Amino acid sequence: MLPTPFAEQVLDLVATIPAGRVLTYGDVAERLGSRAPRAVGTALARFGGGAPWWRVVRAGGLLPPGHEVRAAELLRAEGIAVIRSANGPRVDLENYRWRSAG
DNA sequence: AAGCTGACTCGCT
DNA sequence: GAGCGAGCCAGCT
């Protein structure tokens, strides 16, 4: 399967996220002028292999379902503190959320 | 063309 | 703070 144009946009943007910073699915979608965070997740699920998918987290800083452990390790390796909560591991968006345009 | 599914999000309890 | 339900968009069958 070839990446859809939307998926390519997602991968391209995710690739620009600096190490030590994170973005939410909603942020990625919004930066692409879209309102489909779910499509962002799908794109990373299918084609995220070559992109820093762990820098994309759910709203509230929650890690991607089914990839919490893997993402937590990679994030910690970049200096991002992963906090454990009942609903899953999460990062502090206030401190690590990436803002390239303010 | 119509319907189903999904690495989501927001509002309420 | 944590759990449940409805809403939205893009892709696939």
Q: Two tokens at A59?
A: 């709203």
User: Mind listing the pLDDT tens digit for each residue in A43-75?
Assistant: 999 999 999 999 999 999 999 999 999 999 999
- Nucleotide nearest A38, CA–C1', reads B8
- Provide the pLDDT confidence category of residue A87 given band limits of 50, 70 and 90: confident
pTM of this structure = 0.94
Nucleotides of B under 7 A from a protein CB: 6-10
Chain A 29-68 contacts with nucleic strand B (CB below 7 A): 36-42, 44-45, 48, 53-54, 58-59, 62, 64-67
> Residues near A76 by Cβ (< 8 Å), separated by ≥ 6?
A82
> Residues near A37 by Cβ (< 8 Å), separated by ≥ 6?
A24, A25, A26, A28, A29
Give helix A5-14 / helix A37-47 axis angle, nearest 10°.
80
